[in-house]
Amino acid sequence: MTDNDSIQQLAKLDDEFMRMALREAAAAAARDEVPVGAVFVKDGRVIGRAHNMRETLNDPTAHAEMLAITQAAEALGAWRLEGVVAYVTLEPCAMCAGALVLARVARLVYAAADPKAGACGTLYNIVQDERLNHRIEMTVGVLADESRAILQAFFRKKRIRDS
């Protein structure tokens, strides 16, 4: 297998798992939650998947990433998520980026950048900060248009309903 074949295979997997995360985001929207989804994968197997549940649980920490991290740790029986890839539909915030670093996630793939709270390259870059003891490989922009469309439709509908 050539390097080009490996890159194409990785891109195909990234698309596949991001589509799962987008389905989680759609499930969040259906519950009137901000539509963010996360899927955690180890060795090609999903070990955690979640969507935002802050409103449902009345919990400010119930972000998709935080819920999926907990599931992944339970699935592995360990808090260190070494070798795990996190797929998230929106750039993680500072809390979630910090949790990804603390969990030792190997790679983060996110769809849309978050200009108001993004902590993985937009406002901050916590996951690659050299002052921390762990850095995460990143792939940015996978299915970003699809993610943005879900978010924009959600907030458009919310503005109409709230006016």
- Parallel, antiparallel or unpaired: strands 107-112 and 137-140: parallel
C-beta of residue 30 within 8 angstroms of C-beta of residue 48 = no
Based on the residue annotation, tell me whether 24 is a catalytic residue of this protein: no
* Radius of gyration, alpha carbons of the chain: 15
Both tokens of 155, joined, read: 């907030």
Both tokens of 47, joined, read: 């070990």
Task: Please return the burial class of 150, using the count of CB atoms within 10 Å of its CB with bins 0-12, 13-18 and 19+.
Answer: buried
Identify the active-site residue in 24, 33, 65, 91: 65
Kindly give the interhelix angle for 3-30 and 144-162, rounded to the nearest 10 degrees: 10
CA separation for the pair 110, 77 (Å, rounded): 25
- What are the residue numbers of the active site? 65
